[in-house]
Amino acid sequence: MNRQTDRREDAACIIVNIGRERAFWKGHYMALPGCGPGIEFEAFWPLLVRAYDIYLHHPHAGREVGAVLYANSPEVIEQRLEMSMAGRIFGRVMDRIQQATTRLQYAGAMHA
């Protein structure tokens, strides 16, 4: 088998600065669905981290599949979030990721 056929032609490196993301969400998490007065950031942060985890570990899943993975994650189940609520939170995190991440393209890297 040709090794090149096992490689993607659109190789990319996705960089997420989780420290920067944590600082962002600390100031914005109260605007997320399901969040309200009395919910501390530290209690909500694991839900946000799981969304990043799904994005990074399942980059080709797409939003719909990612939302299902998110809704079935231990963090979401522990918080007893409804699937629609979990999907809205996941969608907001994905919107943030699209704005805040750096995606480095390596167009010619696979031809070596």
- What is the reported pTM? 0.78
On whether the CB atoms of residues 26 and 40 are closer than 8 A, the answer is no
Do 109 and 11 touch, CB atoms closer than 8 A? Answer: yes
Total count of domains within the chain: 1
| Cα distances (angstroms) measured from residue 11 to each of 1, 100, 105, 108 | 20, 19, 6, 9
Residue 89 belongs to what domain range? 17-102
| Tens-digit pLDDT string for the chain (112 aa) | 444 433 334 456 777 889 999 999 999 999 999 888 888 999 999 999 999 999 989 988 889 999 999 999 999 999 999 999 999 999 999 999 888 776 666 555 544 4
Q: Does a structural domain hold residue 26?
A: yes
Residue 5 lies in a domain: no
Output the pLDDT for position 103: 64
State the Cα–Cα distance between residues 102 and 19, nearest whole angstrom. 14
Find out whether 91 and 63 touch, Cβ atoms under 8 Å: yes
In a domain, 10, yes or no: no
**Residues in the chain, total:** 112
